[in-house]
Amino acid sequence: MTRSPHKLIPAEFSPVPSLDNTCEVVAVRDFAADLDAVALLVAAGTDLTAVVGLGTDALAAAGFDAEPGSSLVVAQDGHPLVLVGIGKADELDADKLRDAAAAAARATAKKGGRIGIEVPELALDARTVGQVLTEGARLARYRYAVLKAEPKEVPLALLQLKVAGADAAELTAGIEVATVTVRAAAIARDLANTPPGHLTATDLAEVAAELGAEFGFEVEAYDKAQLIEMGCGGILGVNAGSVEEPRLVVLTYMPDGDPSGHLGMVGKGIMYDSGGISLKPSDPMHLLMKMDMGGAAAVLAAFTALRDLGTPAAVSGWLCCTDNMPSGSAYKLGDVLTARNGKTVEIKNTDAEGRIAMMDGLALAVEAGVDAIVDIATLTGAAMMALGKSRAAVLGNDQAMVDRVRDAAQATDEPVWQLPLERRYRKQLDSDVADISNLGGPHAGATTAALFLDEFVAGTPWAHIDIAGTMSSDADDSWRSAGATGYGARLLANLAAGFSA
């Protein structure tokens, strides 16, 4: 990669360090003798006297009640043993098991990088068990540590899964799916955690090209001169204040056989959002604006999973990448930009830049004739205000498409909640001088932002995922680790894997 010398970024710096961390995951009948620790998942009411020499009452007295969230390190000959509660066995679902594996991986984090997880016989199918155990443990142990001389934790290098009564081949099949989904989520996290000076739009396009070559999809990147030729006035407008060039990165995945349909994905790729001329006021929150490309990261990461998940649909992606900076050349309030589809947009707030950069990507998806569009964006503080940091907002013009997103979100435990695309609010986006303005009223900000995007999908079935809240986590929490969550990468991969026109 070519890098600005003044930033002293080593030429070998990788924005996707997770690809260098390998973790072996295997289903076993007996654990290796030299593991650093073993976690035993314990259902409520299980008598452990024979295993740890303590009955249920003694364990409760020591603070372990086998409920989710409860754990206890018990001294053992050989490797340390950690008890991790999973609650009532008949209430256990895939999400709770994923969370339990995450808790197990965290409870053993201080012990080392080679761990085992032992699971009692469960009512869930073995493939799902293998998948969610692997996802929970590996995602929980994710750390962004490339810029630290001394990482605090040893990375997970070996995970052995011992599941009572489970078919080994089925478990292994689940582990293999998780290897792909975890890799995708980790790539999305890496990209969003990377400092903005270490990952410009140009850098992201180069990373995309490398990932495409490795994981089986085509990548084309369009630079500033090409975007002018193409009439992408939105990306160019947002980019006007930056010394860094924009990039529109187009991803194409083709399945081996006849495609079951053609799905379009559009990602907001604001490499850093300062607000532009509508400069954001000083606030610790703005540290997070390096993650304003979390939507683009999720789309790119999902593409790395498509081939290995055997995705039957053709999938195309448009990543709208630029930073949003104030300067003498920046776009101004009152400016009117012309989008790829010819619509004119009056800028009333340069901090509502995501919708502006994405309008060109959406218009291009329509031109490509996709059967449906999903877009993903760290779009509005309003979505975070409404739903908090663990659930994303979903809105759309087609209930079937919204439902597909909800189903995928359910499967991957990247939860969403539908907000209404209330068309009565469209008039808030009216402009006196242009076809539309980029700013709605003081309320329903997530809805008015979506109504803006709706203007560029030309009636194509479309769902929009607003991940302003879910892109990051303040602390380790279930499968999320502190920092970028990679939210959306697994969801989009799941959506594509099940897509047909």
Q: Which residues contact ligand BES (rule: CB under 6 A)?
A: 273, 288, 292, 349, 351-354, 378-382, 384, 439, 445, 468
Residues 280-339 that bind Zn ion (CB under 5 A): 292
The size of the chain, in residues, is 501
Element of type H or E holding 162: strand 158-163
Say how far apart CA 342 and CA 363 lie, in whole Å. 9
| Amino acid in the structure at residue 304 | T
Say how far apart CA 292 and CA 204 lie, in whole Å. 13
* CA distances, 143 to each of 152, 159, 161, 293, 501 (Å): 9, 16, 22, 19, 38
Nearer to ligand BES, 129 or 352 (CB): 352
Query: Of ligand BES, Zn ion, none, which one does residue 444 interact with (CB within 5 to 8 Å by kind)?
Result: none
Q: Binder to Zn ion among 146, 250, 270, 493 (CB under 5 A)?
A: 270
Minimum distance, C-beta of residue 350 to ligand BES, in the bound complex (Å): 8
| Amino acid in the structure at residue 234 | G
Minimum distance, C-beta of residue 312 to ligand BES, in the bound complex (Å): 34
Nearer to Zn ion, 378 or 481 (CB): 378
Nearer to ligand BES, 162 or 389 (CB): 389
Minimum distance, C-beta of residue 450 to ligand BES, in the bound complex (Å): 12
Two structure tokens written together for 321: 């990448």
Query: Of ligand BES, Zn ion, none, which one does residue 468 interact with (CB within 5 to 8 Å by kind)?
Result: ligand BES
Regarding 234 and contact with Zn ion (CB under 5 A), the answer is no
* CA distances, 25 to each of 37, 112, 157, 162, 309 (Å): 15, 15, 8, 11, 18
How many binding residues for Zn ion (CB under 5 A)? Answer: 6
Nearer to Zn ion, 16 or 358 (CB): 358
Query: Of ligand BES, Zn ion, none, which one does residue 223 interact with (CB within 5 to 8 Å by kind)?
Result: none
Nearer to ligand BES, 71 or 278 (CB): 278
Catalytic residue selected from 141, 143, 340, 355 = 355
Minimum distance, C-beta of residue 351 to ligand BES, in the bound complex (Å): 4
| Residue that the structure tokens 């293999």 belong to | 176
Say how far apart CA 418 and CA 440 lie, in whole Å. 19
Say how far apart CA 49 and CA 37 lie, in whole Å. 20
Say how far apart CA 486 and CA 182 lie, in whole Å. 10
Two structure tokens written together for 198: 């270490």
Regarding 201 and contact with Zn ion (CB under 5 A), the answer is no
Catalytic residue selected from 280, 332, 343, 348 = 280
Minimum distance, C-beta of residue 495 to ligand BES, in the bound complex (Å): 22
Nearer to Zn ion, 353 or 371 (CB): 353
| Residue that the structure tokens 């991940």 belong to | 467
Minimum distance, C-beta of residue 323 to Zn ion, in the bound complex (Å): 10
| Amino acid in the structure at residue 55 | G
Query: Of Zn ion, ligand BES, none, which one does residue 170 interact with (CB within 5 to 8 Å by kind)?
Result: none
Nearer to Zn ion, 18 or 437 (CB): 437
Two structure tokens written together for 87: 């609650």
Element of type H or E holding 114: strand 114-119
355 tagged catalytic: yes
Say how far apart CA 287 and CA 368 lie, in whole Å. 36
Say how far apart CA 250 and CA 105 lie, in whole Å. 37
DSSP secondary structure code for residue 280 in this structure? P
Is residue 246 classed as helix, strand or coil in its secondary structure?
A: coil
Query: Of ligand BES, Zn ion, none, which one does residue 380 interact with (CB within 5 to 8 Å by kind)?
Result: ligand BES
Element of type H or E holding 411: helix 399-412
Q: Among the candidate windows 25-33, 262-270, 300-308, 388-396, which touches Zn ion by CB under 5 A?
A: 262-270
Residue 359 CB-half CA count within 13 A:
32
Binding mask 349-368 for Zn ion (x = CB under 5 A): --x-xx--------------
Q: Binder to Zn ion among 36, 135, 206, 273 (CB under 5 A)?
A: 273
Minimum distance, C-beta of residue 463 to ligand BES, in the bound complex (Å): 19
Binding mask 409-448 for Zn ion (x = CB under 5 A): ----------------------------------------
Nearer to ligand BES, 194 or 380 (CB): 380
Tell me the sheet residues that pair with 41. 84
Nearer to ligand BES, 347 or 463 (CB): 347
CA 247: distance to chain centroid?
A: 21
Query: Of Zn ion, ligand BES, none, which one does residue 125 interact with (CB within 5 to 8 Å by kind)?
Result: none
Minimum distance, C-beta of residue 27 to ligand BES, in the bound complex (Å): 39
Minimum distance, C-beta of residue 492 to ligand BES, in the bound complex (Å): 18
Calculated CA dihedral for residues 50, 55, 60, 61, nearest 10 degrees: -120
Task: Give just the sign of the alpha carbon dihedral 226, 229, 231, 237.
Answer: positive
| Residue that the structure tokens 């995708």 belong to | 184
Q: Which residues bind Zn ion (CB under 5 A)?
A: 270, 273, 292, 351, 353-354
- Give me the active site residues, please: 280, 355
